[in-house]
Structure 1
Amino acid sequence: MKTIAPVVMELNGVRLEPLAPHHAEGLRAAAADGQLWQLRVTSVPEPDQVGQYIFKAIEMRPSRFAFAVLDAASGEVLGTTSYHDVLPEVGRVEIGYTWYAKRCQRSHVNTTCKLLMFSHAFDTLDCALVGLRTDNFNHASQAAIERLGAKKDGVLRHHALRRDGTVRDTVMYSVTRGEWPEIAAHLRYKLAQRPIMALPRAGEPPC
Structure 2
Amino acid sequence: MKNQNFDFQPTLTGELLKVRPLKSNEFDLLFAVASDPLIWELHPQRERYKKEVFEKFFELAIKSGGAFVIEESGKAVGSSRYYDYRPELSQVAIGYTFLARAYWGGLYNCDLKRIMLLHAFKFVDNVIFEIGVNNLRSRRAIEKLGGRLTGHVDLDGTPHVVYTITKSSFNF
What TM-score, normalized to structure 2?
0.86
Corresponding residue for 2:29? 26
Query: Secondary structure of the residue that 2:26 maps to in structure 1?
Result: helix
CA distance in 2, matches of 1:148, 1:53: 26
Corresponding residue for 2:87? 88
Instruction: Give the superposition deviation at 1:20.
Output: 1.0
Pair 45,4 (structure 1): closer, same or farther in 2 beyond 3 Å: farther
Aligned residue pairs: how many?
168
2:151 paired with 1:148: no
CA contact (8 A) 2:16 2:111 kept: no
CA distance in 2, matches of 1:21, 1:35: 25
CA distance in 2, matches of 1:52, 1:173: 26
CA distance in 2, matches of 1:23, 1:76: 13
Deviation string for 1:51-98 (max 9, x for gaps)?
A: 54333222233xxx1111011x2x211110011111123211011001
Pair 40,115 (structure 1): closer, same or farther in 2 beyond 3 Å: closer
Corresponding residue for 2:19? 16
Corresponding residue for 2:155? 160
CA contact (8 A) 1:28 1:50 kept: yes
The one of 158, 164, 168 equivalent to 1:174 is 164
Query: Secondary structure of the residue that 2:89 maps to in structure 1?
Result: coil
CA distance in 2, matches of 1:146, 1:39: 17
Corresponding residue for 2:102? 103
Pair 144,35 (structure 1): closer, same or farther in 2 beyond 3 Å: closer
Query: Secondary structure of the residue that 1:95 maps to in structure 2?
Result: strand
Query: Secondary structure of the residue that 2:67 maps to in structure 1?
Result: strand
2:71 paired with 1:67: no
Pair 87,45 (structure 1): closer, same or farther in 2 beyond 3 Å: farther
CA distance in 2, matches of 1:45, 1:32: 4
CA contact (8 A) 1:37 1:46 kept: no
Gaps of at least 5 residues in structure 2 are none
CA contact (8 A) 2:42 2:136 kept: no
CA contact (8 A) 2:37 2:49 kept: no
Instruction: Give the superposition deviation at 1:177.
Output: 2.0
Gaps of at least 5 residues in structure 1 are 162-166, 185-207
Deviation string for 1:13-71 (max 9, x for gaps)?
A: 3110011123322211111234535655246452245454333222233xxx1111011
Counterpart of 1:19, as a letter, is L
What TM-score, normalized to structure 1?
0.72
Pair 173,40 (structure 1): closer, same or farther in 2 beyond 3 Å: closer
% identical aligned pairs = 25
CA distance in 2, matches of 1:85, 1:94: 6
